[in-house]
Amino acid sequence: MELLTSLAALLAFAIVCLSGCAAGASAGPGGYKPDFSHSAGVIYDRGRPIAKIKGFRLKSVVLAPGEEALIEEWDVSWRGGKGKVTTVDEVLVRKDKPSALEVLIKGHSAGGHYSSITKITVTYSRSLDSYLYEVVSTLVKEKLLREGWDTYSKANLVSPPSECCRLKFKAPHGDKWKCCVYRDRDGKLVKIPFHYLMTPDKDRLYFPRKDALVGYFGDPEGANPVVEFIDAAGLNSYGHISASLGELYLGRLYNNVLGHCSDKLGIRYRLCRYDGKRSALIVKAGRVRKYTEEEKEEYARPRFEPDKTCDFEEAIDLAKTDRAGYWEVFGDIFDAEWCNDVAHSGGRSLKCAGESKSSRCYWELALHTKGYPVLEKGKGYRVTAYVKTKAPDGKGASLECIKLKGGAAFKSQPITGTTGWKKLVVDIPASSETTGLQIRLLHEGKGVSYFDDVRFAGVR
Ligand SMILES: [Ca+2]
């Protein structure tokens, strides 16, 4: 409870200067000296906007003087669960001197079961050459956790919020950074490569209570956003990281099924950015999770790159940053597999099968990977694939391509009956605008289809 007492003291006396402020104040002659100001919900440094305050959110957050915003959206509310703090009671901004600015946001949950006070102190660190957004945030249980006494069921439980911070990064899908790194409970740096699969290395990551960090690293220009934990009282924190989608969540661990928590929870952390040198050391020291053979099999996905013939020989590399697209199966999924003994090229292909005339299953290029082909404006395209079928009954095997804008669908002539390898062709006429393309390898009916060597190419 020590931290909570000190948090209360900090808030009660509205102490402006935390450790970050000390770093800013120590900037000597020749060092950067910030001049923070505030007007109409915007925080400025030397007249340049560095963050916009919208309720519990800070938007377009700049992490170092003169840089572009790295954070698109930073939500400092206690989020998730029925007890989430959604109503803003008060937003106060104060500045006692040019080197520090303080934002105080008070709020409560619907029904008033929980209240929160979040204080963000903005300073500048000369040693990091970064702004420091230091956060002290408390959650207080105001009343009984049940909505009523008459029914004593889990449905009435007003569960405490599960998260206390969410960061959405500006660069979409982690394009700017090589990996995410965090410090685990043993004090070791763990590296999470960026690919688009939601793998176990990205979920429920446990932090030590103090001196933890989590960030996106490896930007050659040295703009690496980092959260440094100072203390987390009662949180048993874990970070729920959704690294591949360019978002980072800081959450707390549920204590038990009843969702009880202490009367007060508190967290203290700061958001800053590390330069290229510091970031490179962290990337080097980080170790990637070792997958078991079972996990490797479970998460294996055939990879796809628009400028190569897709021969279904290789999977997404879980141990490295791999931004290639991949294929997933839909429909009657239990009848589909990545096949190791039938192939048009190499040794592998994708198999779809059906048990009845109405069966339908297909492999589709997963759109959320952003690894799909793009149709340029004014240019025609041809998509081809090879298929081998044992399809005695039903519509057969085909290749289907769907434009992401407008949804126009183009389907090849279906292949029915039992055949050797045949080529499927889809011609896509020139578009009036640039758009992505969804590709499906479709099997309809009773029987089996094998697909291989998908090719996407522009035509004159
Ligand atoms: Ca192959």
With bands split at pLDDT 50, 70 and 90, how would you rate the model's confidence at 128?
very high
User: For residues 228 and 248, which has the higher predicted lDDT (pLDDT)?
Assistant: 228
Same domain, 349 and 230: no
User: For residues 134 and 162, which has the higher predicted lDDT (pLDDT)?
Assistant: 134
Distance 329 CA to ligand 1 centre (A): 17
**Highest-confidence range of 8-17, 121-130, 180-189, 363-372, by mean pLDDT?**
121-130
Distance 342 CA to ligand 1 centre (A): 8
Domain end point (choices 252, 269, 288): 288
What is the percent of the chain where pLDDT is above 90?
A: 65
Distance 305 CA to ligand 1 centre (A): 14
Rounded to 5 degrees, what are φ and ψ at 102? -125, 135
Same domain, 238 and 326: no
Distance 348 CA to ligand 1 centre (A): 4
With bands split at pLDDT 50, 70 and 90, how would you rate the model's confidence at 460?
confident
Same domain, 221 and 326: no
Same domain, 233 and 259: yes
Is 293 part of a structural domain of the chain?
Answer: no
Name the residue with tokens 């929870």: 265
Distance 290 CA to ligand 1 centre (A): 27
Number of domains in the chain: 2
Is 65 part of a structural domain of the chain?
Answer: yes
Q: Kindly give, in sequence order, each residue whose CB lies less than 8 Å from that of residue 108, ignoring residues fewer than 6 positions away.
A: 85, 87, 89, 114, 115, 116, 142
Cα–Cα distance between 23 and 228 in angstroms, integer? 15
Indicate the residue type of 64.
Answer: A
Residues 458/379, Cβ–Cβ less than 8 Å: yes
Same domain, 75 and 196: yes
Cα–Cα distance between 411 and 443 in angstroms, integer? 12
Same domain, 279 and 387: no
Domain end point (choices 267, 288, 309): 288
- pLDDT value of residue 328: 94
With bands split at pLDDT 50, 70 and 90, how would you rate the model's confidence at 12?
very low
Is 294 part of a structural domain of the chain?
Answer: no
Take residue 98 and report the two structure tokens written for it.
């040019």
Is 252 part of a structural domain of the chain?
Answer: yes
Same domain, 283 and 310: no
CATH of the domain at 443: 2.60.120.260
Is 443 part of a structural domain of the chain?
Answer: yes
Distance 443 CA to ligand 1 centre (A): 18
Residues 250/202, Cβ–Cβ less than 8 Å: no
Same domain, 283 and 304: no
Is 146 part of a structural domain of the chain?
Answer: yes
Is 329 part of a structural domain of the chain?
Answer: yes
- pLDDT value of residue 412: 97
CATH of the domain at 255: 2.70.98
Residues 174/262, Cβ–Cβ less than 8 Å: no
pLDDT per residue as tens digits for the range 90-118:
999 999 999 999 999 999 999 898 999 99
Distance 159 CA to ligand 1 centre (A): 50
Same domain, 243 and 109: yes
Residue 230 has pLDDT above 70, yes or no: yes
How long, in residues, is the chain? 460
Q: Kindly give, in sequence order, each residue whose CB lies less than 8 Å from that of residue 256, ignoring residues fewer than 6 positions away.
A: none
Is 247 part of a structural domain of the chain?
Answer: yes
Name the residue with tokens 């170092």: 64
Residue 17 has pLDDT above 50, yes or no: no
Give the Å distances, CA to CA, from 433 to 119, 299, 376, 378, 379: 47, 35, 7, 7, 10
- pLDDT value of residue 171: 75
Please state the rounded mean pLDDT for residues 313-342.
Answer: 92
Cα–Cα distance between 323 and 174 in angstroms, integer? 9
Same domain, 263 and 409: no
Cα–Cα distance between 160 and 64 in angstroms, integer? 34
Please state the rounded mean pLDDT for residues 161-175.
Answer: 81
Burial class (CB in 10 A: 0-12, 13-18, 19+), 273: buried
Name the residue with tokens 């889990």: 154
How do strand 130-141 and strand 224-233 relate by DSSP bridges?
Answer: unpaired
Domain that holds residue 358: 299-459
Lowest-confidence region among 118-122, 160-164, 191-195, 249-253? 249-253
Same domain, 453 and 410: yes
- pLDDT value of residue 54: 96
First to last CA, the chain: 71
Residue 250 has pLDDT above 50, yes or no: yes
Q: What 3-state class would DSSP assign to 5?
A: helix
Take residue 148 and report the two structure tokens written for it.
């009523």
Domain end point (choices 288, 318, 334): 288
Cα–Cα distance between 141 and 234 in angstroms, integer? 13
Distance 446 CA to ligand 1 centre (A): 23
Distance 341 CA to ligand 1 centre (A): 10
With bands split at pLDDT 50, 70 and 90, how would you rate the model's confidence at 253?
low
Residue 23 has pLDDT above 60, yes or no: no
Say what the pTM is.
Answer: 0.82
Lowest-confidence region among 116-125, 367-376, 384-393? 367-376
Distance 428 CA to ligand 1 centre (A): 24
Other CB atoms within 10 A of residue 274 CB: 26
pLDDT per residue as tens digits for the range 284-310:
999 999 999 999 999 999 999 999 999
User: For residues 341 and 259, which has the higher predicted lDDT (pLDDT)?
Assistant: 341
Residues 99/224, Cβ–Cβ less than 8 Å: no
With bands split at pLDDT 50, 70 and 90, how would you rate the model's confidence at 174?
low
Sign of the torsion formed by the C-alpha atoms of 114, 118, 176 and 278: negative
Q: What 3-state class would DSSP assign to 115?
A: strand
Same domain, 145 and 77: yes
Distance 313 CA to ligand 1 centre (A): 5
- pLDDT value of residue 1: 41
Residue 200 has pLDDT above 70, yes or no: yes
- pLDDT value of residue 14: 34
Give the Å distances, CA to CA, from 94 to 16, 62, 104, 122, 421: 9, 19, 8, 11, 72
pLDDT per residue as tens digits for the range 37-89:
999 999 999 999 999 999 999 999 999 999 999 999 999 999 988 889 999 99
Lowest-confidence region among 138-142, 178-182, 233-237, 382-386? 233-237
pLDDT per residue as tens digits for the range 396-437:
999 999 999 999 999 999 999 999 999 999 999 998 999 999
Other CB atoms within 10 A of residue 287 CB: 11
User: For residues 390 and 5, which has the higher predicted lDDT (pLDDT)?
Assistant: 390
